[in-house]
Amino acid sequence: MRKIFIAALIVGQSISLSSTAQKFTPEDIRTQFIKDWERAKAYTIDYLNTVPADKYSFRATDSIRTFAQHMLHLAQSNVNVLAFVTGMPNIIGERVLEESKTAQTKDSVMYYVTASYDLAINGLKKMDMASLNEKVKFYNWEETKFAWLLKAFEHQTHHRAQTTIYIRLLGLHPPQERLF
Model confidence over 105-151: pLDDT tens digits? Answer: 999 999 999 999 999 999 999 999 999 999 999 889 999 999 999 99
Can you give the pLDDT at residue 4?
A: 52
Burial class (CB in 10 A: 0-12, 13-18, 19+), 125: exposed
DSSP string, 76-140: HHHHHHHHHHH----SSTT--GGG-GGG-SHHHHHHHHHHHHHHHHHHHHHS-GGGTT-EEEETT
Burial grade of 29 (CB within 10 A; 0-12, 13-18, 19 or more): middle
Positions of the chain with pLDDT lower than 50, given as ranges = 5-17
The pLDDT value given to residue 31? 97
Identify the pLDDT of residue 179: 81
Task: Please state which CATH class domain 26-169 belongs to.
Answer: mainly alpha
Give pLDDT, residue 22.
81
**pTM of this structure:** 0.86
Identify the pLDDT of residue 5: 44
**CA-to-CA distance for 165 and 67, rounded, in angstroms?**
10
Q: How far apart are CA 122 and CA 34, in angstroms?
A: 9
* Cα-trace Rg, the chain: 20
Give me the pLDDT at residue 9, please.
Answer: 41
